[in-house]
Chains A and B, each alone.
Chain A
Amino acid sequence: MEHPGKLTFLFLVSLLQTHSLVTGTTPEALSVSPTSVQLTGSRQSVQLIVTGRGVNGDILDLTHEATFIAAEPSLLKITPTGMLTPLLDGTTSIQVKHGQLSDSINVEISGQGSQESVSFNHQVLPVLAKAGCSSGQCHGAPHGKAGFQLSLFAFAPKADRVSLVRQSLGRRVNPITPSESLLLLKPTMKISHQGGKRLETDGRLYQLLHDWMSEGCSVASHDTTCLGIRVFPPEDRVLKFPHIKQQFRVIAEFSDGTSRDVSHLAKYETSDPNVASVTPDGLVTGLGRGDTAVIIRYLSHIQTPLLTFVRDIPGFAWEPPPILNYIDENVDRKLRQLQYRPSELCSDETFVRRAYLDVIGLLPTPAEVDHFLESDAASKRSELVDSLLQRPEYARFWAQKWGDLLRVSRKLIGGNSVMKYNRWLQNAVAKDMPYDQFVKALLTASGSTLTHPQGNYYRTAGDTNDAMETTSQLFLGSRIQCAKCHNHPFERWTQDNYYGLASFFHRLQRRKTGREEEVLLYSTSNGEVTHPQSGLVMQPWVPTDGSIDVTEHTDRRAAFVNWLVTPENPFFAKVEVNRIWSQLLGRGIVEPFDDFRDSNPPANAPLLEALANDFTTHQFDRKTIIRRIMNSRIYQTAAKTNRFNEDDYKYFSHYTPRRLSAEQLVDALGQVTGQPKTFERVAHGTKATWLPAPDLKPHRRDKIGDIEFLKVFGQPERQSACSCERKVDTSLGQALELLNGQFLHDMLIHPENRFRQSRNAGTSFEDIILDLYRRALCRKPTDQELQRAVNYVNNSENQEGGMEDVTWAILNKEEFLFQH
């Protein structure tokens, strides 16, 4: 948490900064959208948007600063925020003024003689969604709330009408005195409502519900359907402080060819609340630097325009840093735009530790450290990366990362299959199997899982839905699970899409052969997925091409894979480069790294694009991407921040330290103390970072509940394909293990551990400590550190005990526990 004093100080500073910049850009031209307005019904309205353009092309939203003057003021009402509602039939014009600039639009109004009836589907349900009633935490929850159930964001209008009009003995509505209905008494808190106040009695939303009831709670028998929404401004915008407001307009288009302004019915959110907030009326206000998507929803339709907020930071000047490859160019462009100054390059000592941990999962030996530090070749960093990528440990360590994602565990597939599957993964990584072929091999695996261990993919994902969900999460970066039961709440996925995708996997048969752990995989030529509500047979469907035809006798999985691995597929390459990026830098360009959706925009879209292109043009060679990233300046920046980037956490202006993973930590402790941990049921000398599964050792009932170091530090159980299972946050249990745990204690007191062996061989404490620093931290101690450590040992009553303490202290240093 921030120190309160510091907060106040920063607040003052930011106020001062705002003041000094308050003048901002002066607009040179002004335009109003829409350019003309036709209103044909009494319930229609239009949100006007006034846009100014500065000399240098800057765009600023003036909707809330402009004045609106109607030539015939009696015909209509217009708010200072640009919301226009009709009163009487007629034609008029509106003059829009801002300073010296002005523009005008024509308005035609008709149909005011009679009251337009309220549409249940297009007005009442959106009101309930906008007020939050049909959200997942309220009545949209699977069983509703307090006995009242609505479908999540109105995806089942018929059921919603029944709940509103028929259930609870019809008490929820009251056509005679609508204001006495539960539907209006509850959300206005006239009677107690656990969901709090959701509606104002004098608001338009209230009025719509009220009028719908007074009109008899009708549902038009042949209601048109909404085909989609358009938003204005349609393009992504960059807004510069102090011009940090942007009003949005939303137009819905209907199946009868009409369209109408639904700005007052749409629901607005921002993807990054640190960057901007948005009012229920669609006015976005910037709060900080950065990008945010504005998520605009009307019924099941979503648009997600992107806004970037920039501001001038006093004293900031862009000093071009060295460019090592295209990654740096892309990141720098963003940093320069947002005015973050990148950190310096990290030292060789830091780099060697970072590179070893990332590529092979282990710390370098002292000889390896010296070799690297002593070299003065200009290209020594990229040479180190190249040589590390050739090591067998690379394949073992990166196969383990795949094991996490593919849920390789004894519980799910059995001990022998774990070994076979892991060996297959290690081989694939070691032989640089191109990523598209790798995925193809997994997804189209057929035959015995004993001879084709990759077929275990369909044993961990043991049924149609699981196979589809796992596949879309791993290779499309999409968490489609939500769409199983209802349309996805913040993506374009619908329930139809879910079952359309599932049909690719439905004909796969898994037959147990009777041999232990063996399953025979084969495809049949019949079997269809039906929609759980409509009962219709779902055609195979893919996100970019829609429904696709698959001939009777092809394996549908092959058809899916052919679509999946085409270079044009917008998801496939991006998901993998983003995953590699996050494995190397601790945070994805899209974060979480397997959650791609329009409402979760990448921190740097051009960078992601460029990496994906690089990947596809290099035949999906993963090492190319690893090399590219590690050879970039961005990967090699120091963790040390400067005053211009200390608050950046997502644009990669500095390295972000992260705790060693459970396996890395166990290996590192073993390497430093010379007491490597051994594991059951694997070859002697197997490192933690090579373990094929977390649950290989036999389950002993008398050991249930014992503390295990690896688990405490977050080794995943591999029960879900979600990356979130690997626990990276810190817990009290971890700190206690390091401070007073048996695991580390045993290494320190072992009679044959490294420092005792060196001592027995006659090495001085000073040399032992020098060696310790090199092993644990890949650097020499400073004179001060060395002096203090040596003194501590010498002043201890029991010098071996003193040496234990020194080793302990180094292993408890953040510099050791974190990769930095």
Chain B
Amino acid sequence: MIDFGSFRAASCSGKTRRSFLKTSSIVPFALGAGLPSLQAVEQARQKAKAKSVILLWLWGGPSHIDMVDPKPDAAMEYRGPFGTIATKTPGMHYTELLPRMAARSDKYCVIRSMQTTDSGHPGAGTIGVTGFKESPGPVQPNFGAIIAKHRGQDELATTPSSSLPPFFYVGRGIPRDLPRRIEGYGGGTLGKAYDPFLVSCSDRGEVGIPTLKMLPNMSPKRISNRKDLLSELDVEQHRLEKNLLGQWGHTYQSAFDLLTDAKARDAFDLTKESPKTRRSYGHTTFGQGCLLARRLAQAGVPYIQVNWSEYVETFTPNGDFGWDTHIYNFELLQDRHCPIFDRAFSTLLDDLDDRGMLEETLLVAMGEFGRTPQISNRAAREHWQHCYFSLWAGAGIEPGRCIGQSDSKGEHPVTRPITPLMAGTTIAELAGVGAQQRAEMKVLDGGSLIDELL
């Protein structure tokens, strides 16, 4: 195998994964050195604990106090109307809205001491998925873009999923509030080349992929005709040697297949799942989106962000029931949001576990902030950046723990606050982007790991 236009960069510890791979691919000259290098490849493969990351992005700000951090002993204007239930984790209670998740709390960890620094949706949203404020900028890359870039530099890691992009958004679109989309949605300083690939999914599991949508006057048939013409015009005399063009031929064919060949879109096809499985995730856009995320992870996609909604708002025009429950907080959580989330999260966790994928998949769920512990005069809750929660499972994280603690009213962490930057650094670390690679890519600067979790 021949290496073009790429280079070998050493790392603090010596060889990179890439250079291991090169070693293994030179069998023609290998004089007895084949075996150790194969082991080296295997070691390199194992380095990333999370081959795939699934982030369930609970856009709008879910209420920590009404879900995983209830305060039954706080005054009435704080604790809200919900009762609490015990979880599988000794001493930890949830509200009664999340019975399935409570029954599985031994399979994941809860962090109750998250804290961010912006109280508006787009601002906190950017911090939530990049670790940094959007202004003065430059806007930093989404965690997914970092992992996409890192994997893109690594031939091996892209092999299983080479026909699919490395970074997906599942949901209606780029998260936004009424005025605008969030700045930190994509590549940021790494460039738009690392923007996410959008896939939408309806409550019936119909998948829409904007990039694969045919332009006016175009059809798969016409693209096929064009491709046939292209190969007809490919005369021997002027043909470039394929092996000098790197991955191009392969990439081009993959894109063509995605456009024209239904089989190549298998990973997106939820009808391949049994009706029972599809039902278990819930026939909601989020539920079916979680199922799609699992299929993508199975196909080797390194980073999938499932967006709960496109808009934060619940009822405003265009709104698609985000978690921004300034009115009807309790009603919505009880009747809609929590049942959907409880079911989808639990089923995804079980499904990953049953398939043996959990060890190599990191599942994270979080929003951009929490909601005011003190109930508002509209009988709901407002934005609260000082304290919120996140959920972590898989990728070797020891499950069944509650990390961090908030005060008696759920207003502030009483343990070390955990920031989105720390969450992103931990995600990157588990996905194989070590401290040195982060420094070289100039991303997640100053981010430390959530030691409590690891």
A, B bound: yes
Q: Which residues on B sit within 8 Å (CB–CB) of A711?
A: 187, 191-193, 195
Within 8 A of A (CB), among B1-17: 1-15
A503 at the interface (CB under 8 A from B): no
Chain A residues with CB under 8 Å of B251's CB are: 730-732, 734-735
Q: Is the CB of A595 within 8 A of B449?
A: no
**Interface residue stretch chosen among B76-84, B207-215, B342-350, B363-371:** B207-215
**A469-489 vs B: 1/0 string, CB under 8 Å?**
000000000000110000001
**A727 contact from B137, B193, B247, Cβ within 8 A:** B193
B336 sits at the interface (CB 8 A): no
In the bound complex, residues from chain A placing their C-beta under 8 Å from that of B192 are 707-708, 711-712
A714-B191 CB under 8 A given contacts A639-B244, A729-B246: yes
Residues of A within 8 A of B442 (CB): 719-720
Is there an interface contact between A704 and B195, defined as CB atoms closer than 8 Å? Answer: no
Partner of B4, one of A7, A649, A779: A649
**Residue A555 is within 8 A (CB to CB) of chain B in the complex:** no
Binary contact readout A1-25 vs B (1 if CB under 8 angstroms, 0 otherwise): 1100001001101100010000000
B25 pairs with A2, CB closer than 8 A: yes
Q: In the bound complex, do residue B28 and residue A137 qualify as a contact, i.e. CB atoms below 8 Å apart?
A: no
Q: Across the interface, which residues of A come within 8 angstroms of B414, CB to CB?
A: none
**Contact, CB under 8 Å: B230 / A809:** yes
With contacts A647-B2, A705-B195 taken as known, whether A740 is within 8 angstroms of B215 at the C-beta atoms is yes
Interface residues of A in 770-820 (CB under 8 A from B): 777, 779, 782, 784-785, 788-789, 792, 801, 805-806, 808-810, 812-815, 817-818, 820
Measured between beta carbons, the chain B residues less than 8 angstroms from A740 are: 211-212, 214-215, 218, 223, 259
Verify A592–B9 contact, CB threshold 8 A. Answer: yes
Asked if residues B4 and A736 are in contact (CB atoms below 8 Å), the reply is: no
Is B138 among interface residues, defined by CB-CB distance under 8 A? Answer: yes
**Whole-angstrom distance from the CB of A696 to the nearest CB of chain B?**
15
Q: Does A166 sit at the interface, judged by CB under 8 A?
A: no
Contact (A717, B31) CB under 8 Å given A592-B9, A599-B10, A733-B165: no
Given that A595-B9, A720-B442, A740-B215 are known contacts, is A730 also in contact with B246, CB under 8 Å in the complex? yes
Contacts of A272 in B (CB 8 A): 8
- What is the CB-to-nearest-CB distance from B329 to chain A, in angstroms, rounded to a whole number? 28
- Nearest-neighbour CB distance to chain A for B230, whole angstroms, equals 4
> Nearest residue in A to B23 (C-beta to C-beta)?
A273
With an 8 A cutoff between CB atoms, is A641 at the interface? yes
What 1/0 mask marks residues of chain A from 628 to 660 whose CB sits below 8 Å from any chain B CB? 000000000001110000110100000011110
B7, A735: Cβ atoms closer than 8 Å: no
A288 in the interface (beta carbon within 8 A): yes
A810/B233 contact (C-beta < 8 A), A595-B9, A732-B165, A732-B251 known = yes
Nearest CB of A to B14, in Å: 6
Contact A704 B182, beta carbon cutoff 8 Å: yes
Q: Indicate which residue in A140, A411, A727 contacts B13 across the interface (CB closer than 8 Å).
A: A140
Q: Assess A285 versus B31: contact at CB under 8 Å? Given A136-B435, A649-B2, A705-B181.
A: yes
A745 to B211, CA, bound (A): 13
Is A702 an interface residue, CB under 8 A from the partner? yes
Q: Which residue of B lies closest to A708 (CB)?
A: B192
B240 touches A739 (CB 8 A): no
B191 lies within 8 A of A716 (CB): yes
Q: How far is the CA of A10 from the CA of B229 in the complex (A)?
A: 35
Q: Known contacts A586-B5, A649-B4: does B33 contact A287 (CB below 8 Å)?
A: yes
With both beta carbons as reference points, the residue of chain A lying nearest to B436 in the complex is identified as A136
CB 8 Å contact bits of B252-286 with A (1 = contact, 0 = none): 10111011000000000000000000000000000
Give the contacts of A52-101 with B (CB-CB under 8 A): none
Q: How far is the CA of A273 from the CA of B10 in the complex (A)?
A: 11
A720 to B244, CA, bound (A): 29
Interface set, chain A 697-721, CB cutoff 8 A to B: 701-702, 704-705, 707-708, 711-717, 719-720
* Interchain CB contact under 8 A, B137 and A411: yes
A742 in contact (CB, < 8 A): yes
The reply on B448 being an interface residue by CB < 8 A is: yes
Q: Within 8 Å of chain A (Cβ to Cβ): is B179?
A: yes
What interface size band does chain A fall in?
35 or more
Question: Which of B223, B238, B241 is the most central at the interface, judged by chain A CB atoms within 10 Å of its CB?
Answer: B238
Is A747 interfacial (CB 8 A cutoff)?
A: no
CB of B185 closer than 8 Å to a CB of A: yes
Q: Identify which of A18, A481, A809 contacts B226 (C-beta below 8 A).
A: A809
Do the beta carbons of A818 and B179 come within 8 Å of each other?
no
Does A490 lie at the interface of the complex (its beta carbon under 8 Å from any beta carbon of B)?
yes
Question: Is B164 part of the contact surface with A, judged by Cβ < 8 Å?
Answer: yes
B174 within 8 A of A: yes
**Looking across the interface, which residue of chain A has its beta carbon closest to that of B25?**
A2
Q: Is A35 an interface residue (CB 8 A)?
A: no
Q: Are A719 and B2 in contact (CB under 8 A)?
A: no
State which residues 191-206 of B face A: CB under 8 Å: 191-193, 195, 197
Known contacts A639-B241, A740-B215, A814-B240, A273 near B13 by CB under 8 Å: no
> Is A277 at the interface (CB under 8 A from chain B)?
yes
Contacts A592-B9, A657-B244, A705-B185: A712 and B26 contacting too (C-beta < 8 A)? no
Q: A2-B1, A658-B5, A739-B256 are in contact. Are A792 and B229 (CB under 8 A)?
A: yes
The interface bits of chain B over 229-240 (1 if a CB of A lies within 8 angstroms of the residue's CB, else 0) are 110111101111
Closest CB in chain A relative to B413 CB, distance in Å: 21
Closest to A18 in B: B31
- Residue from B190, B229, B255 in contact with A809 in the complex, judged by beta carbons closer than 8 Å: B229
B404 at the interface (CB under 8 A from A): no
Chain B 339-389 residues near chain A, CB threshold 8 A: none
- B451: chain A residues at CB < 8 Å are 143
CB–CB B256/A141 < 8 A: no
Find residues 410-452 in chain B having any chain A CB closer than 8 Å to their own CB. 434-436, 439, 442, 448-449, 451
Contact of A137 among B13, B234, B247 (CB under 8 A): B13
Tell whether A812 pairs with B230 under 8 Å between CB atoms, given A717-B138, A731-B251.
yes
- Bound-complex Cα distance A574 to B164 (A): 41
B27 interface residue, CB < 8 Å from A?
yes
Given the complex, which residues of A lie within 8 Å of B241, measured CB to CB? 639-641, 646
Nearest-Cβ distance from residue A493 to partner chain B, whole angstroms: 13
**Which residues does chain B contribute within 8 Å of A138, judged by CB atoms?**
13
A506 contacts across to B, CB distance below 8 A = none
Interchain nearest-CB distance for A342 vs B (Å): 15
- List residues of chain B with CB within 8 A of the CB of A137: 11-13, 47, 434, 436
CB neighbours of A782 from chain B (8 A): 235, 237-238
A732 in complex: contacting residue of B15, B215, B226, B254, CB < 8 Å: B254
Report the bound CA distance from A658 to B225 in whole Å: 27
Asked if B104 is at the interface of the complex by the 8 Å CB criterion, the answer is: no
Are the C-beta atoms of A288 and B233 separated by less than 8 Å? no
Which A residues lie within 8 Å of B30 (CB)? 11, 287
B119 within 8 A of A: no
A244 an interface residue at 8 Å Cβ cutoff?
Answer: yes
B217 beta carbon closer than 8 Å to chain A = yes
Shortest distance between the CB of A407 and any CB in chain B (Å): 11
Tell me which of B1, B5, B31, B434 contacts A656 (CB under 8 A). Answer: B5
Report yes or no: A274 in contact with B26, Cβ–Cβ below 8 A. yes
Complex Cα distance, B190 from A132, in Å, reads: 31
The 11 listed contacts between A and B (C-beta, < 8 Å) are A18-B31, A136-B11, A274-B29, A712-B193, A720-B189, A733-B197, A734-B251, A738-B252, A742-B215, A788-B229, A788-B232
Of all A-B residue pairs in the complex, the 6 with the closest CB atoms, nearest first, are: A136-B12, A735-B255, A135-B13, A711-B192, A10-B28, A288-B29
**Chain A interface (Cβ < 8 Å from any Cβ of B):** 1-2, 7, 10-11, 13-14, 18, 132, 135-138, 140-143, 152-153, 196, 244, 269, 271-274, 277, 285-289, 411-412, 481-482, 489-490, 586-587, 591-592, 595, 599-600, 639-641, 646-647, 649, 656-659, 701-702, 704-705, 707-708, 711-717, 719-720, 725, 727-736, 738-740, 742, 745, 749, 777, 779, 782, 784-785, 788-789, 792, 801, 805-806, 808-810, 812-815, 817-818, 820
Other A-B pairs, 8, CB within 8 Å; known A792-B232, A814-B245: A7-B28, A587-B5, A595-B9, A656-B5, A657-B240, A711-B192, A733-B197, A740-B211
